Amino acid sequence: MSGYPHGVAQATRTDPLRVLEEIKRLSLEVLGGLPGTLYGPVEDALKVAMLKGDGKTNHYEEQAALWVLRQHQATHVMKFRQQIAQAFDDFRALRIRSGGEVPLRLLDEQQLEYELASGRLNESLVARFARPLDTLQSRLQALSESLRVPAGLNPIGPERLVTAFSQTLQDAQVPDTLRGRLFRHYETELIRLLGDLYARINALLGSSGYGAPLAPRPPEELRRGAEGVAPAGYGGGYGPQDGYGAPGGYGPGPGTVGEPGRGSAPPMSQQDIAAMAQELAQLRGQLHAWRESISRGDVATGSGGTHAPERPVGQRREMRVDEILSVASLLQAEPPDAFARALAVTGRLGETIRDHLQDGARRLGLNPDQACFSPEEEDAIDLVAMLFDSLFRHNALQDRARRLYARLVLPYVKVALTDNAVFVKREHPARRLLDAITEACEGNDGETPQDRELLDRATEISQRIVADYNEDLAVFEMAHAELDAVLAQQRRRFELQEQRAAKATYGRERLGAARAQAESALEERLGDTTLTQAVADFLAMPWRHHVVQTLLRENADQRRHAEAIALGDALVMADRLAGEGRGRELADQLLALQPAIIDCLASSGLDDSAAQHGMAGLVRALATPDTPRRQRPAEPLSMPEDDSGEAERRLWLAAGTDTVRHDPLLAERMSTLEVGDWLRLTNVEGESTAVKVAWLSPLTSRYLLVNRRGLRVLVASAEELAALAGAGRLTIGAERTAFDEAMRQVKRHLDRASATR
């Protein structure tokens, strides 16, 4: 695309391969999702026909066939896109064109029906678009001459588009009536889209030197052309006035086909479009304020300003978006070592991206001393750099993931240059893929086969993006669908890990509560009482353990617990009877207690013989009235702390939890957390991770926090969480997806940086 103003004859032509690739990109952007967009309207029409039906047509057969088509919607979309891409390859003579006679073959009835329907549709479209098609054909012929190939069939002419649709559905079992409906709706969509598409492509060819320029375009396109940005539909603009649907802004407007691969997703409302445009304008405003604050600070301090992007000076021209895309495509397949190193140092990635692009421009013959980045390109580079920096600062990503993300830097720079909606549109395919990759990599150290499979699949997909992405967002859509299918299987495993973590934590808490209750019961019975050594030992060991077991195993049966407590009281009474020399009463007491004592000893793991032996020893000790008696304070059981709990506290609560200093208001806020809420937690070493409230203890009201893989991170009370929040190491209300959270952190960083300058 030339940098000359529209309406001025051009002495040179833009590289024909680049122009042809741009036409291909535009065509796939506008037409690529067509098969998937037809099924919804056809289904509605079918429902209306059923309501008006006279019973002569079997609409149920059509419904069944349509249901099957919808199940294979993604396959049809990709097959259709491949047909369009093949048409461009044929135009470039990448495939051997038939130079001889076409062999005769027999057509089955279904193929014949498709041929007839295709012929009728082709005639209709040729008649409707005759004038722009004539202009387009002459310009494509000039393009063929520049490519030094024979003039081929128009790759987006009606004949090729009708053939693409027919080939897409040829293997599907479609009843005649449904086939007619599909072709009618396909014709309607082509009529709606082709007029604008042909006009845009004719304008592109004319402005690139292939044929006389067309009449002047609207002021918005003139402004973009004068700035050196791609023509309408290129998607390189960042201005808030571009809008989501204005030429050159965010791809197709409302009601048109959206990004490739979206299928039959409903168009966005005007309110959504306006909200996204406002969000992007606000983001750009923050970015520009940050950049200006850095420039002012550098002037005041006399520093060179390594973070401040270089601005155009003197006679330097701004590079066009298509030039930057060519440079990025050249570098995309090269090793990402420099980006990986830059990701390890906050703030270095943007500078590294600029250095690489300038080096690539030099290799392509563009002198960086005579050309510079435009403001829109600076925005794209800075936002991508900050996005990836934020992902690494706020997610627990291992070293292996750094190279994986480094490999994706340039593809995402290209996405930002051609479709800046990626920063504000939650359903953008490139955005969803980055979320899936982060979910696969965060906290994943590859210890299990499943974890290694996730890492390998994410690595493979990043390599595929590098190899296949050429301004066609369908690559991201397919990659996300593949990775998400693997993640769907793993998410169930993560849910089970969450449940196991909750059960294990609850079990430890029940054990701790039972031990504390048994300890209290023992202290009550020993207290100031003087006892023989045998009775005190029995109460301190077998009986205390028996009480713990009844609390854990018989928690629902209060009778068993009451019997265990009564046994302790009875043994204290027996010791008193022995000391008072009341032998007959003592004998009756011991005979009555024998079953309970045997049961108590058995709960400690003694078999019947050992339990009988223990019972005999207790009887011998009580049978001697003058046995020494004294107060015997209970020695606490050795109850080692849970190792993981201790490690957690050292990692997150370095000051300990005995006297947690906290803000009561923050603690009250923490007490309102619910299961499923997402938080962001930073350890004492500054490493941040996303955590979810997985469980609330009914015993201690403590919260179990797990990471995205369902693994326990911390169990803490509301007061402990308040202390972390007060120290700035806990953030409430973190975004659920990694991309959303990263963009939130980018905005906070821009605001803070601008405010402190």
CA distances to 426, 514, 519, 545, 560 from 605, rounded to whole Å, are 60, 18, 20, 10, 18
Can you tell me the mean pLDDT for 613-637? Answer: 72
Contact 612, 598 (CB under 8 A): yes
pLDDT tens, residue by residue, 36-72: 788 878 877 777 776 665 454 566 677 778 888 877 8
What pLDDT is attached to residue 461?
A: 92
Task: Using DSSP bridges, classify how beta strands 371-372 and 317-318 pair: parallel, antiparallel or unpaired.
Answer: parallel
Residue 621 backbone phi and psi in degrees, to 5? -65, -35
CA distances to 45, 109, 485, 576, 739 from 113, rounded to whole Å, are 22, 6, 37, 106, 48
In b/e form, how buried is each residue of 159-185, taking b as 16+ CB within 10 angstroms? bbbbbbbbbbbeebebbebbbebbbbb
- How far is it, in rounded angstroms, from Cα 60 to Cα 175? 11
Nearest to 583 by CA among 529, 625, 615, 618: 625
Longest dimension (CA), the chain: 126
Contact 164, 80 (CB under 8 A): yes
Can you tell me the mean pLDDT for 574-585? Answer: 82
- How far is it, in rounded angstroms, from Cα 179 to Cα 14? 42
- How far is it, in rounded angstroms, from Cα 20 to Cα 88? 8
What pLDDT is attached to residue 436?
A: 92
Nearest to 731 by CA among 393, 433, 278: 393
Q: How confident is the model at residue 640 (pLDDT cuts 50, 70, 90)?
A: very low
Can you tell me the mean pLDDT for 661-666? Answer: 80
Nearest to 699 by CA among 498, 486, 502: 502
- Give the rounded percent of residues in the chain with a pLDDT score beyond 90: 8
Give one word for 581, left, alpha or beta, with left for phi > 0 and alpha for psi -120 to 50. left
Task: Using DSSP bridges, classify how beta strands 530-531 and 703-706 pair: parallel, antiparallel or unpaired.
Answer: unpaired
Residue 262 in this model has a pLDDT that exceeds 60? no
134-140, Cβ contacts within 8 angstroms, sequence gap of 24 or more: 135/202, 135/211, 136/198, 136/201, 136/202, 136/205, 138/211, 139/202, 139/205, 139/206, 139/210, 139/211, 140/91, 140/205, 140/210
Q: How many CB atoms lie within 10 A of CB 262?
A: 21
Nearest to 554 by CA among 499, 599, 591: 599
Dihedral over alpha carbons 515, 519, 520, 526 (to 10 degrees): 160
Q: How confident is the model at residue 405 (pLDDT cuts 50, 70, 90)?
A: very high
Contact 437, 461 (CB under 8 A): yes
Q: How confident is the model at residue 416 (pLDDT cuts 50, 70, 90)?
A: very high
Q: How confident is the model at residue 259 (pLDDT cuts 50, 70, 90)?
A: very low
Residue 408 in this model has a pLDDT that exceeds 90? yes
- The helix (H) or strand (E) run that includes residue 680 is strand 678-682
DSSP for 18-77, written as a single string: HHHHHHHHHHHHHHTTHHHHHHHHHHHHHHHHHHH--S-S-HHHHHHHHHHHHHTHHHHH
- How far is it, in rounded angstroms, from Cα 492 to Cα 498? 10
Residue 264 in this model has a pLDDT that exceeds 60? no
What pLDDT is attached to residue 263?
A: 38
Q: Name which of 23-27, 112-116, 316-320 the model is least confident about.
A: 112-116
What pLDDT is attached to residue 383?
A: 93
Task: Using DSSP bridges, classify how beta strands 703-706 and 730-732 pair: parallel, antiparallel or unpaired.
Answer: unpaired
What pLDDT is attached to residue 755?
A: 65
What domains are defined for the chain?
A: 16-96+106-225 (no CATH), 320-472 (no CATH), 506-631 (no CATH), 644-740 (2.30.30)
Q: Name which of 353-357, 383-387, 412-416, 685-689 the model is least confident about.
A: 685-689
Contact 148, 92 (CB under 8 A): no
pLDDT tens, residue by residue, 479-524: 998 898 888 888 888 888 888 888 888 888 888 888 888 888 888 8
What pLDDT is attached to residue 658?
A: 47
- How far is it, in rounded angstroms, from Cα 309 to Cα 305? 8
What pLDDT is attached to residue 313?
A: 45
Q: Read off the DSSP letter of residue 626.
A: T
3-state secondary structure of 368: coil
In b/e form, how buried is each residue of 348-365, taking b as 16+ CB within 10 angstroms? bbbbbbbebbbebbeeee
Nearest to 553 by CA among 510, 508, 594, 523: 510
Contact 681, 689 (CB under 8 A): yes
Q: Read off the DSSP letter of residue 103.
A: P
The interaxial angle of helices 73-91 and 34-52, nearest 10 deg, is 130
What pLDDT is attached to residue 512?
A: 84
- How far is it, in rounded angstroms, from Cα 717 to Cα 697? 10
Nearest to 57 by CA among 45, 39, 70: 45
Positive or negative: CA dihedral 531, 535, 537, 543: negative
pLDDT greater at residue 606 or residue 139: 139
CA-angle at 350, arms to 345 and 352, nearest 5°: 75
Q: How far apart are the first and last CA of the chain?
A: 40
Supply 479's token pair: 């990659």
What pLDDT is attached to residue 465?
A: 92
What pLDDT is attached to residue 224?
A: 36
- In three-state form (DSSP H/G/I as H, E/B as E, the rest C), the secondary structure along 440-467 is HHCCCCCCCHHHHHHHHHHHHHHHHHHH
- How far is it, in rounded angstroms, from Cα 454 to Cα 449? 9
Contacts of 60 (CB under 8 A, 6+ apart): none
pLDDT greater at residue 233 or residue 206: 206
Per DSSP, what are the bridge partners of residue 681?
689, 730
pTM equals 0.54
Supply 500's token pair: 């196991």
pLDDT tens, residue by residue, 165-218: 888 887 777 887 788 888 888 888 888 888 889 888 988 888 888 875 444 434
Q: Name which of 231-235, 384-388, 713-717 the model is least confident about.
A: 231-235
Q: How confident is the model at residue 288 (pLDDT cuts 50, 70, 90)?
A: confident
Can you tell me the mean pLDDT for 297-320? Answer: 55
Q: Name which of 76-90, 348-362, 547-561, 654-668 the model is least confident about.
A: 654-668
Nearest to 258 by CA among 30, 22, 26: 30
DSSP for 385-423, written as a single string: HHHHHHHHHSS---HHHHHHHHHHHHHHHHHHHH-GGGG
For the chain, the average pLDDT equals: 76
Q: How many CB atoms lie within 10 A of CB 105?
A: 6
CA-angle at 537, arms to 534 and 538, nearest 5°: 85
Q: Name which of 280-284, 314-318, 686-690 the model is least confident about.
A: 314-318
3-state secondary structure of 704: strand
Can you tell me the mean pLDDT for 610-634? Answer: 74
pLDDT tens, residue by residue, 93-128: 765 444 444 443 444 455 556 666 777 788 888 888
pLDDT tens, residue by residue, 347-384: 789 999 999 999 988 888 877 778 888 888 999 999 99
What pLDDT is attached to residue 250?
A: 33
